[in-house]
């Protein structure tokens, strides 16, 4: 994977990446209606699928250290996400609340394509999370109050895929917020989880700046941040300056 920053001195009103289209079929207690984003230019179609997979997870309230140990444990309980193991700690009669690790598991079926990339998007995992797909570590994240993506392209296979997530809210003095904060630091997958299917080349951000503007002319800078798999599929870009009457006054690529 190559992270690339591209600069241009062209104004952009219309912008498109020459990327491959994207679609895939996921199943496994997914929410019924995926969200699909398609570009308006049929010649440069870009399709991204977002499918919520928050229903039908298995939960293990054991702080096993490895995938093998977690798989060997029982019982796993069927739950839906969002979920926290501290749900009743604020109302029970026992002092304190559980600060430890637990595991989440889900199986999904994928019609895998070599010209697609696959990600898990977590809206939140309190406080540390390690993600495994088919027994292989795909990534990890620290911090329970922001969303994050984990690419799983190298781990997924055509057919059934096992997702395992170890989430830990144990006391850790290196974490923010402070362990002495006056609120619970709930443990668990406390927001929705999504499966993302993307093209090999992804436009992450576009920044447009106007360093020089006058009544006669303007200089406009374009900065694009792309995430590309160029060893598989070359990517290009083009930009147009469009006048109020709709005519193109300048182009570049």
pLDDT digits (tens, 9 = 90+) for 183-195: 888 999 999 999 9
Nearest CA to 222 among 200, 195, 245, 241? 241
In a domain, residue 96? The reply is yes
Number of domains in the chain: 1
For the chain, the C-alpha Rg in angstroms (whole number) is 22
In a domain, 241, yes or no: no
Kindly tell me if the per-residue pLDDT of 178 is higher than 80. Answer: no
Q: Which residues, in sequence order, are CB contacts of 153 under 8 Å at separation 6+?
A: 116, 117, 118, 119
Residue 79: which CATH number? 2.60.120.260
Instruction: Answer whether residue 23 shows pLDDT above 70.
Output: no
Residue 74 lies in a domain: yes
Residue 179 binned pLDDT confidence (cut-offs 50, 70, 90): low
The range of the structural domain enclosing residue 109 comes to 49-176+183-199
Q: Is residue 236 part of a domain?
A: no
pLDDT band (50, 70, 90) for residue 233: low
**Residue 243, Cβ density class (10 Å: 0-12 exposed, 13-18 middle, ≥19 buried):** exposed
Per-residue tokens: 70? 């977690």
Would you say residue 3 lies in a domain? Answer: no
Q: Where are the alpha helices (DSSP H) in 43-120?
A: 67-72
Identify whether 214 is part of a domain. no
**Does any domain span residue 195?**
yes
Task: Compute the average pLDDT of residues 29-57.
Answer: 61
Percentage of the chain exceeding pLDDT 90: 50
Identify whether 30 is part of a domain.
no
């Amino acid at each position: 994977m190559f992270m690339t920053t591209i600069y241009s001195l062209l104004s952009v009103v219309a912008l498109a990446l020459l990327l491959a289209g994207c679609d895939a079929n996921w199943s496994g207690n997914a929410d019924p209606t995926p969200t699909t984003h398609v570009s308006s230019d049929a010649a440069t179609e870009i399709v991204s699928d977002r499918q919520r997979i928050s229903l039908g997870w298995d939960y293990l309230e054991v702080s096993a250290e490895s995938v093998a140990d977690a798989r060997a444990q029982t019982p796993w309980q069927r739950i839906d996400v969002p979920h926290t193991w501290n749900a009743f700690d604020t109302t029970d009669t026992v002092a304190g609340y559980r600060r430890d690790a637990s595991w989440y598991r889900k199986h999904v079926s994928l019609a895998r394509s070599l010209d697609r990339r696959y990600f898990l998007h977590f809206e939140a995992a309190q406080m540390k999370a390690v993600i495994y797909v088919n027994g292989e570590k795909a990534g990890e994240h620290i911090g329970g109050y922001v969303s994050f993506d984990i690419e799983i392209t190298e781990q997924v296979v055509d057919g059934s895929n096992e997702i395992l997530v170890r989430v830990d809210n144990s006391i850790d003095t290196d974490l923010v917020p402070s362990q002495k904060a006056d609120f619970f630091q709930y443990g668990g997958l406390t927001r929705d989880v999504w499966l993302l299917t993307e093209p090999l080349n992804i436009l992450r951000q576009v920044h447009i700046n106007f360093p020089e503007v006058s009544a006669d002319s303007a200089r406009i800078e374009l900065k694009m941040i792309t995430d590309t798999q160029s060893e598989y599929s070359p990517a290009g870009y083009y930009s147009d300056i469009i006048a109020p009457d709709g005519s193109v006054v300048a182009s570049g690529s």
